[in-house]
Amino acid sequence: MGGLEDVVGVLNDVVAHLPGGDVRVGQAQMAEAVARAIEGRSHLLVQAGTGTGKSLAYLVPAVLAGERVVVVTATKALQEQLCRKDLPFLQGAMARSGRDFSFAQLKGRANYVCRARLAEHARNRDGVLEGIRADDALLDEIDNWVVDTTTGDRAELKSPVDDSLWATLSMDSRECPGRIACAYGDDCFAELARFAAAASDIVVVNTALYAADVASGGAVLPPHAVVVIDEAHMLEDVCADAFGAAIGQRRIERLAAEINTLLASETGGKDDDVVALAERARAWGELIRSCPPDERIDLDVSGLRPALMVLNEDLAKLHAEVGKVDPVDVDSTLKRLRLHSLIDSARNDIQYMMAATADRDAIWVERREPPILVVSSIDVGPRLSSGIFAKATAILTSATLAVGDDFGLIAWRLGLRDDLLTQERIASDFSETESESTDSKRPAEPTKFESLDVGSPFDFRRQALLYCATHLPDPRVEAFSEAWLSEAVGLVRSAGGRTLGLCTSLRAAGELRDALRAALPDLRVLSPEDLPRARLMKEFASDETSCLIGSLGLWQGLDIPGPSLSLVLVDKIPFARPNDPLSMARRERAELEGRDPFRTIDLPRAALLLAQGAGRLVRSHEDRGVVAILDKRFAKGSYSRALIDSLPPMYKSTDGARVRAALERLAVARNDLDSGS
């Protein structure tokens, strides 16, 4: 294992090159646990709070393992941080002691410019490619960039490129015919990135790409002995999407239009089968529009199965017709290959959907225009068990994995199912009595796992106050709407802005935004509708008295240390909508298995999401502030202990006047600091 036995010593050497230069207690505990898991071929669930330094805690033993390790992050932004900051630093620090390693970043195919599409675009420069026009200066910039870039990664471009234009310059996995079939395959940026990953010790990907690898049976990523999944609390939902399928009117219409373009070049007119497919797409849209949105659907009862069968037959005919086209140039060759891939992808999704069963999948119509029929896996555990845990040693980490101090639920839902996870343990996971130890029942590899909570180096009792507005009406009654907005305005006024408003719905976010703008016109109130996310974060961080208000998209991934954030405001406990199709299906599944649906599905999800939201407040040792939850059920519900125990150990209060006074003192102190007094 090449040095895993001295992982803390190596970690000390590495951290010595950082400002401060001290290994944190939790960081050392985590590094040792990761090393033991890799060496013992056992899986590890490790909860590491904000400020632990978990990146180095898993990267150092990953490098020392001497085997290829895939590191999975929740977002592309975290990928960039690892590959542009953490790994180059670690590479330099470890090289000083003679330990060399290589790393590579791998993204989904659509992130890389496609040389074939770029060549097609160049030949059509004076016209319009697939209905998209672009500024000549931008196209010149892209042309010049392609000459110099070694990666072809969209993120390298200095100027922003509209998604619709980028779609004409790239290919996603559904349409790419593959390296061997493509005339530009040997120089393909996406393939070069895959080759680099296959030759590297550490490969960094995002969760969506890793889920795609599992869904494909391992066809996306190079073989690896160890996988580290950061922000692992997101794995279940990302995989549920990746393991599913979606068929909407627009997808079929666009496919029909592209097929028509190719076939019309042969015949000079519209093909009857293409016309039939376009009409079928519109009929499909009307059919699924007639279904109740966001409710579970039975394909047979709803009459959707016959329509899916007809779509599949139509696409099969057109696949054969496209295959008969004799390409006259490079463009038509590429288009034919692309269309075959797109048709195959659509047919695969249709066939997957028709094979769906009520006990395994949830099917519903997604509320958008035009609507989309979606199928998603109710239980991703079996596929993760065979696709991850049976193949590699898995390190799963996040600031929020356990509910209270129990890792059992997330282990169960992700497929780590062995004798350590009895149904009795699952059903009583929120019980205040301790379960009987089952260490003696530990099974053989590869299903065994360990769990660890290394805490956080921050002093939450000194740095943060947890406030619950127990005097407000119950959120389920009409009077709550006006009351919570009034309470929120008062808190934000006391804080002098400096607020992150986390709402459980778009409607609530809009109401809070409008209420703050009306009552506190001197404060800048930002929302995701105003600016792109990256710029939104920058504006909020740079304007100390601004407020940022949004819904579930803001609950995770924000890192705003410093004086710009003193108040995290939560309108309600983030329970899933009662009629959310996937949640409904999971509840039904839990009930069939003899488990309490609320305590095994709804409450854990709410607890983890609430912990993520509250975790936005304290990001450094200097941060101070309040987490305000305006839902009285948080403190007075029968399940409040589970929610409270899932949050950092903050000082607690239900006294609104005291909390407002604390925020006012903090605002005065920060204003004095800013003015230099």
* Structure tokens that stand for 154 in this block: 């969209």
Q: What are phi and psi of 69, to 5 degrees?
A: -125, 130
Burial class of residue 490, CB neighbours in 10 A (0-12, 13-18, 19+): middle
pLDDT value for 124: 62
Task: Give the Cα separation of 36 and 422 in Å (integer).
Answer: 25
pLDDT value for 255: 92
User: Residue 86 half-sphere exposure, CB side, CA atoms within 13 Å?
Assistant: 21
Q: If you average pLDDT over every residue of the chain, what do you get?
A: 87
Whether the predicted pLDDT of 378 surpasses 60:
yes
Q: Among 348-362, 411-425, 560-574, name the one with the lowest average pLDDT.
A: 411-425
> What is the tens place of the pLDDT at every residue in 450-475?
999 999 999 999 999 999 999 999 99
pLDDT band at residue 478, thresholds of 50, 70 and 90?
very high
pLDDT value for 304: 92
User: What is the CA 409 to chain-centroid distance, rounded?
Assistant: 20
pLDDT band at residue 151, thresholds of 50, 70 and 90?
very high
Whether the predicted pLDDT of 123 surpasses 90:
no
Whether the predicted pLDDT of 675 surpasses 90:
no
Whether the predicted pLDDT of 429 surpasses 60:
no
User: Tokens 């040997």, residue?
Assistant: 186
> What is the tens place of the pLDDT at every residue in 13-28?
999 888 777 788 999 9
pLDDT value for 370: 86
> What is the tens place of the pLDDT at every residue in 227-239?
999 999 999 999 9
Three-state SS at 21: coil
Three-state SS at 119: helix
Contact (Cβ atoms closer than 8 angstroms) between residue 495 and residue 627: no
Contact (Cβ atoms closer than 8 angstroms) between residue 381 and residue 413: yes
Whether the predicted pLDDT of 127 surpasses 60:
no
Task: Give the Cα separation of 69 and 49 in Å (integer).
Answer: 23
Beta strand residue intervals within 417-476, DSSP E: 449-455, 464-468
Task: Give the Cα separation of 368 and 283 in Å (integer).
Answer: 16
In degrees, rounded to 5, the angle at the alpha carbon of residue 465 between the alpha carbons of residues 462 and 466 is 140
Burial class of residue 89, CB neighbours in 10 A (0-12, 13-18, 19+): middle
pLDDT value for 295: 83
Question: How many C-beta atoms lie closer than 10 Å to residue 189's C-beta?
Answer: 21
Task: Give the Cα separation of 656 and 539 in Å (integer).
Answer: 29
pLDDT band at residue 435, thresholds of 50, 70 and 90?
very low
Rounded to a whole number, what is the distance in angstroms from the first to the last CA of the chain?
A: 56
Whether the predicted pLDDT of 437 surpasses 70:
no
Task: Give the Cα separation of 77 and 190 in Å (integer).
Answer: 19
pLDDT value for 161: 86
Question: What is the pLDDT averaged over residues 524-544?
Answer: 89
Task: Give the Cα separation of 517 and 511 in Å (integer).
Answer: 10
pLDDT value for 430: 37
Task: Give the Cα separation of 226 and 202 in Å (integer).
Answer: 10
* Structure tokens that stand for 108 in this block: 């989904």
Contact (Cβ atoms closer than 8 angstroms) between residue 91 and residue 495: no
In what side-by-side order are the strands of the sheet with 69-73? Answer: 103-105, 202-206, 69-73, 226-229, 393-398, 43-48, 449-455
Task: Give the Cα separation of 199 and 197 in Å (integer).
Answer: 5
In the 8-state DSSP scheme, what is residue 85? I
Question: What is the pLDDT averaged over residues 380-393?
Answer: 93
Q: CA separation (Å) from 94 to 71, 99, 102, 198? A: 18, 5, 11, 22
pLDDT value for 335: 83
* Structure tokens that stand for 371 in this block: 């609507």
Residues 6+ apart with CB under 8 A from 669: none
Residues 6+ apart with CB under 8 A from 229: 72, 207, 210, 235, 394, 395, 396, 397
Question: Hey, which residues does 629 pair with through a beta bridge?
Answer: 468, 570
DSSP H helix total and E strand total for the chain? 29, 17
Structural domains present in the chain: 4-102+200-234+380-455 (3.40.50.300), 109-198 (no CATH), 245-377 (1.10.275), 460-675 (3.40.50.300)
Question: How many C-beta atoms lie closer than 10 Å to residue 436's C-beta?
Answer: 8
Q: What share of the chain is helix, strand, coil (3-state, %, to 5)?
A: 50, 15, 35
Cis before residue 473, ω within 30 degrees of 0?
no
Task: Give the Cα separation of 56 and 89 in Å (integer).
Answer: 10
Contact (Cβ atoms closer than 8 angstroms) between residue 192 and residue 65: no
Query: Checking DSSP bridges between strand 43-48 and strand 449-455, what pairing results, if any?
Result: parallel
pLDDT band at residue 215, thresholds of 50, 70 and 90?
very high
Burial class of residue 150, CB neighbours in 10 A (0-12, 13-18, 19+): exposed
Task: Give the Cα separation of 362 and 354 in Å (integer).
Answer: 12
Q: What are phi and psi of 45, to 5 degrees?
A: -110, 120
In the 8-state DSSP scheme, what is residue 577? P
pLDDT value for 605: 92
pLDDT value for 405: 78
> Model-level pTM?
0.87
Q: CA separation (Å) from 577 to 69, 295, 297, 502, 573? A: 38, 11, 17, 16, 11
pLDDT value for 306: 94
Chain length of the chain: 677
Task: Give the Cα separation of 653 and 239 in Å (integer).
Answer: 39
Query: Checking DSSP bridges between strand 651-653 and strand 393-398, what pairing results, if any?
Result: unpaired
The candidate with the shortest Cα–Cα distance to 586, out of 377, 308, 407, 386, is 377
User: What is the CA 149 to chain-centroid distance, rounded?
Assistant: 28
* Structure tokens that stand for 653 in this block: 């209060």
Report the interhelical angle of 25-40 vs 54-64 (nearest 10°). Answer: 30
Q: Which H or E run contains 276?
A: helix 272-289
Question: What is the pLDDT averaged over residues 75-85?
Answer: 86
pLDDT value for 67: 92
Question: What is the pLDDT averaged over residues 5-11?
Answer: 89
> What is the tens place of the pLDDT at every residue in 258-302?
898 888 876 666 678 888 999 999 999 999 999 888 788 888 888
Three-state SS at 606: helix
Q: Among 132-136, 165-169, 192-196, 589-593, name the one with the lowest average pLDDT.
A: 132-136
Whether the predicted pLDDT of 125 surpasses 70:
no
Burial class of residue 306, CB neighbours in 10 A (0-12, 13-18, 19+): exposed
pLDDT band at residue 158, thresholds of 50, 70 and 90?
confident
